[in-house]
């Protein structure tokens, strides 16, 4: 019973023995540090908390020696992925007769609340943009059909081939515009709900991009094998991930690395919905940093840094991920661009 409570807490719980060796870690803590309990259980407090000045380390020793609990509010905690988050940290020594003293460490991320509101803002912004684009594309498509039809009628009335060339330009350009608008409108079918394996999606994309790009791209896979199957539309997800991986391949030039990474996140809130499990898919490449003016609006249609790009790839990916109740984000720094897809894992009976 106690174990079940610990396993389902949102607060990260760590238990250390008197040598400051970790003896228990709950799933919330595994998630926070992005390390499995198996890996963490061989670590000392010092290995886990890379705090400047070893604040937690010292606090633990102080607490152990004095038998007194400590609470540190809004402490900066560097994570293994170099992010620094703010946490409220409590350290409680557990003195029980005849048992070696243990130390209980509780970490509550306070950034999480800020992050949730940021995600909600992103999602509603994505929805608003999509609605605007769809409305516009739809409104352009109708008169375009009229223009094309009229050009064809006119062509039938013309006797001179020279003049027909002009009407053919109109038809051809109208067709080109229609294809573009259709891409802007995005997938026009509702996603199918089939049981799919995310790793299979990533593998398909990896093979496709490998075949397309004869360059020296090294793919690395860092998959979480415990990721369960989910209900989603496989073709649409392939399309969403393909657009991102293609961009990554185009960005790294002649030689570089693309990493496909998956992780499970437990008890995660996305767009006001609390999900038991979500999958975090990361596509990381080591190309140049995306310039800020592109990064700011990267998921908007028509935003492109490539001469031959239409700037639609990512806006399509985004609308597919949104259709699956997920979220997509981009982080870019020198030599490391990461696209993160957060996708709720839906069980069969959902």
Interacting residues toward ligand ATP by CB under 6 A = 243, 247-248, 251, 285, 287, 290, 294, 298, 303-306, 309-315, 337
State residue 329 phi and psi, 5-degree precision.
Answer: -140, 160
145 binds, among ligand ATP, Mg ion, none (CB under 5 to 8 A by kind): none
Given CA atoms 26, 27, 33, 34 in this order, what sign does their dihedral have? positive
- Cβ of residue 302: shortest distance to Mg ion, in angstroms? 12
Nearest to Mg ion of 91, 321 (CB atom): 321
Q: Which stretch binds Mg ion (CB under 5 A): 45-53, 206-214, 245-253, 267-275?
A: 245-253
Binding flags for Mg ion, 304-333, as an x/- string (CB under 5 A):
---------x--------------------
Nearest to ligand ATP of 109, 258 (CB atom): 258
User: CA 201 to CA 26: how far, in whole Å?
Assistant: 30
Nearest to ligand ATP of 51, 260 (CB atom): 260
Q: What is the DSSP string of 57-71?
A: HHHHHHHHHH---EE
- Cβ of residue 113: shortest distance to ligand ATP, in angstroms? 30
- Cβ of residue 304: shortest distance to Mg ion, in angstroms? 8
Nearest to ligand ATP of 186, 287 (CB atom): 287
Are 265 and 329 within 8 A, CB to CB? no
- Cβ of residue 250: shortest distance to ligand ATP, in angstroms? 7
Sites for Mg ion among residues 132-151 (CB under 5 A): none
Please report the beta strands in 79-232, taking only residues with DSSP state E, as ranges in sequence order.
84-96, 99-109, 194-196, 216-222, 230-232
Query: Which residues lie across from 91 on neighbouring strands?
Result: 70, 105
Task: Tell me whether strands 12-16 and 230-232 are parallel, antiparallel or unpaired.
Answer: unpaired
Are 271 and 237 within 8 A, CB to CB? no
């Amino acid at each position: 019973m106690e174990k079940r409570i610990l396993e389902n807490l949102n607060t990260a719980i760590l238990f250390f023995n008197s040598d400051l060796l970790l003896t228990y870690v709950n799933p919330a803590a595994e998630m926070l540090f992005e390390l499995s309990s198996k890996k963490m259980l061989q670590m000392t407090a010092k290995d886990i908390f890379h705090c400047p000045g070893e604040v937690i380390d010292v606090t633990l020793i102080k607490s152990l020696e004095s038998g007194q609990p400590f609470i540190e509010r809004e402490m900066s905690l560097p994570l293994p992925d170099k992010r620094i988050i703010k946490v409220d940290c409590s350290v409680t020594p557990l003195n029980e007769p005849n048992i070696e003293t243990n130390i209980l460490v509780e970490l509550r991320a306070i950034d999480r609340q800020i992050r949730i509101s940021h995600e909600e803002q992103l999602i509603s912004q994505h929805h608003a943009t999509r609605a605007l684009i769809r409305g516009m594309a739809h409104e352009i498509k109708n008169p375009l059909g009229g223009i094309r039809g009229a050009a064809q009628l006119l062509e039938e009335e013309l006797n001179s081939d020279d003049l027909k060339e002009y009407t053919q330009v109109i038809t051809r350009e109208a067709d080109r515009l229609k294809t573009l608008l259709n891409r802007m409108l995005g997938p026009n079918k509702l996603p199918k709900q089939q049981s799919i394996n995310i790793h299979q999606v990533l593998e398909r994309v990896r093979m496709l991009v490998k075949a397309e790009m004869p360059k020296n791209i090294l793919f690395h896979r860092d998959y979480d094998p415990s990721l369960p199957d989910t209900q989603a539309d496989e073709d649409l997800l392939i399309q969403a991930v393909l657009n991102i991986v293609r961009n990554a391949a185009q960005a790294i030039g002649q030689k570089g690395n693309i990493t496909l990474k998956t992780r499970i996140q437990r008890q995660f809130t996305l767009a006001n919905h609390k999900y038991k499990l979500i999958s975090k898919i990361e596509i990381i490449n080591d190309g140049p940093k995306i310039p800020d003016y592109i990064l700011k609006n990267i998921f908007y249609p028509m935003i492109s840094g490539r001469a031959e790009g239409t700037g639609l790839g990512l806006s399509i990916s985004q609308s597919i991920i949104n259709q699956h109740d997920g979220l997509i984000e981009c982080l870019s720094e020198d030599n490391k661009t990461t696209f993160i897809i957060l996708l709720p894992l839906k069980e069969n009976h959902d």
